Structure 1
Amino acid sequence: MATVLVVEDSPTQREIIIQLLQKSGLQVTVAHDGVEALEQIQVSCPSIVVLDVVMPRMNGYELCRKLKTDPKTQNVRVIMCSTKGEEFDRHWGMKQGADAYIVKPFQSNEFLGTVKQLLQG
């Protein structure tokens, strides 16, 4: 079964994303910021990381860059999920190595479609 690591500091957003993923049959683990996410990934590498951009201690851009430049984690799929919806934000996220960039609030079917597409690829 595919595992998705949700890295989100907002309890409300985190719960919405977790519920969506679990309802579609995916196993979900959680980290509250980028530092905690890195620690978890060293122990158990997920199939996909869904991460917020604006977080304490380490932002999503930094975490994505670290994952994509480390040979052990460079193949982990990364979906950035942020309220930062300007074209520059999307461009910068993709430049850091993100496989997808979704703007909050998102449509459930768009979000799950992106997750499933990345799991197949």
Structure 2
Amino acid sequence: MQEPTDEQNQPAWLNDIQWTNDGLVPAIAQDAETGDILMMAWMNRESLTLTVQEGQAVYWSRSRGKLWRKGESSGHQQVLKDIRLDCDADVILLKVEQKGGIACHTGRRSCFYRSLRDGEWVSTDPVLKEPDSIYGKH
């Protein structure tokens, strides 16, 4: 059975989301097993639809102005296990299996590796793999 679509031939469930004025919604990636918050990124209608269709996280890169398949250059893909919408319908939660254990471009497991301690941001999580070895030298 095919899911219902709207007049633009997009899945109707996309209309339940409160998109920003520029057509985006924040998406939080969470490890489905441990509950660890891995990262936050932006999604548009196309990236969210592709994420559901492909079963892997696809985001919208605001800096590059294009779709970004998580892991396309690093190999550290996020396999979709569940997708949730918050009570205000303005934040997506992706429960994922993080391939390779690294979600952050800094080579850490999570992008949330800095903690506020005595008025300063302190790195609390180690680099698991040097970014140059993941992405090559820039």
State the TM-score, normalizing by the size of structure 2.
0.23
Identify the structure with the greater strand proportion.
2
Larger relative CO (CA 8 A, sep 6+): 1 or 2?
A: 1
Identify the structure with the greater helix proportion.
1
Bigger Rg over Cα: 2
State the TM-score, normalizing by the size of structure 1.
0.25
